Structure 1
């Protein structure tokens, strides 16, 4: 199921849906399989977010002691990128609610 309906996303560290049709064009068995696989992936998102948050804390500690302006800018940029990933992961985490609403309508 993973290879057909999901693809790895290196930036976010999870597999993301790769659907080539509208949701309603998949038969019930395909929808169920996709949702089951997504639930497994989705269940790992909080751990991925936690890991990114820990990295941000470490970078913030470095930034607190950094006196070199260029290095400070690089650290700020790295923190912003990690925060952006966290935001994207939160969005993907909520995707399940949209799928469930479609399944029950």
Structure 2
């Protein structure tokens, strides 16, 4: 099933990488893809928690930072991490409907 997923470096998870229309996959392949996706999807909240910890660490650094240039860098890093979290939540929620289909 790994051929149906590709690792996204930015998000730090595997994402579906489907090369043909969903209905063209066999039922067995569809079930395998959905099973793998559910495992990946289940790890998203843990990934988000790790990123939130990084943000908290950077915010703590920022509160003690007096160098303006470093403060700007920390703010950029925090914003980047927040953007990743947002995208992970989108993947987590957007695919709930697909996951629900697998249970019918």
- Scaled by the length of structure 2, what TM-score is found? 0.92
State the SS of the aligned residue for 2:75. helix
1:74 & 1:61 partners in 2: Cα distance? 14
Q: Please list, as runs of the form range in 1=range in 2, the aligned pairs for 1:84-99 lying within 5 A after superposition.
A: 84-99=83-98
State the SS of the aligned residue for 2:77. helix
Answer yes or no: is the 8 Å Cα contact 2:11–2:88 preserved in 1. yes
| Aligned position for 1:100 | 99
| Aligned position for 1:45 | 44
Q: List alignment gaps of at least 5 residues for structure 2.
A: none
- Scaled by the length of structure 1, what TM-score is found? 0.91
| Aligned position for 2:77 | 78
Displacement, 1:11?
1.1
Compared CA separation, residues 104 and 48, structure 1 to 2 (3 A): closer
2:95 & 2:44 partners in 1: Cα distance? 12
Answer yes or no: is the 8 Å Cα contact 2:10–2:84 preserved in 1. yes
| Aligned position for 2:11 | 12
Displacement, 1:72?
0.5
Answer yes or no: is the 8 Å Cα contact 2:6–2:15 preserved in 1. yes
State the SS of the aligned residue for 2:95. helix
CA RMSD of aligned residues (A): 1.6
Displacement, 1:65?
1.0
